[in-house]
Amino acid sequence: MRKIKYVEAIREALAEEMRRDERVFILGEDVGVFGGIFKTTLELIDEFGEERVIDTPISEAGFIGASLGAAITGMRPVAELMFCDFCTVAMDQIVNQIAKIHYMFGGQTKVPIVIRTNIGSGRSSAAQHSQSLQAWFMHVPGLKVVLPSTPYDAKGLLKTAIRDDNPVIFLEHKFLYQTVGEVPEEDYTVPFGVADVKREGKDLTIVATSKMVVESLKVAEKFAKEGIEIEVVDPRTLVPLDKKTILKSVKKTGRVVIVDEGCKTAGVGAELSAMIMEEGFDYLDTPVVRVASLDVPVPFSPPLEKAQMPMLEDIEKAVRSLL
């Protein structure tokens, strides 16, 4: 099977879905001629034109609100927020409108919106361009939340998101765009609510999201040299969440480390830990351990940034604490 970059997988999914359905269009800041801040929409304007690849004013509230209007009148917008941090400017539209319209209208209208954005630190982009806010969206009923960790998942999940009749928050990681993986040339989708066991193991389970899946696999390889087999589970979607696969792994290993790049307090790790305690307590041989970012703004300084975010050694330390 061919291998392509994560960024190319995203671009392919967008192009293929736009060819498949003329109602699909892209809008956001610098998505047209510039090709997007991370080049995920590069050259799409050449094929689809300015009416379907729309460079918007610098107004997140404006173009996210426009996406809602377009969606409930029959279009299928894919809106790109340049950085996840900028969702704050459009949170009224996302939380109070997009997430609730289907319910408040008694199911009489569909809201097929995909909001693509990126998360993650490590680029010295400082506190306003480096956050991982997936827990915020997970907390809002009415939104689906997707975090692909591989090129294969990125393309398949984005196709599923665009075809979904509900609003989807699609979170890509800045440091995954240049990673390479196998992606079929034929059309395929990856279903929501189906976790993927990225690595089989019997001694301990790591449940990881986004870039932390890649880091956790590195840790698992290191421990394998010591004869310790770690299972790495990637939920892929936080809403809907595949509890069954996670609990099955917990039952097998009895030990769990949860790794997510968001802040620790009230984060994804907290929710997954609570779910495991409520529904899989009898399977546990040890308490659940969480690895997450420190509860401080992301620093600009590279050494301080590394101290704030979860690193390989943090995951390794958590694993050793349970073994």
Q: Catalytic residue numbers?
A: 129
DSSP line for 218-272? HHHHHHHTTT--EEEEE-SEEES--HHHHHHHHHHHS-EEEEEEEESTTSHHHHH
Distance from C-alpha of 6 to C-alpha of 161, rounded to nearest angstrom: 16
293 backbone dihedrals φ, ψ, rounded to 5°: -75, 150
Residue 288 C-alpha from the chain's centroid: 22
Q: Which residues of the chain form beta strands (DSSP E)?
A: 3-5, 24-28, 53-55, 76-80, 114-119, 144-146, 168-173, 180-182, 196-199, 204-208, 230-234, 237-239, 256-263, 289-293
Distance from C-alpha of 45 to C-alpha of 26, rounded to nearest angstrom: 9
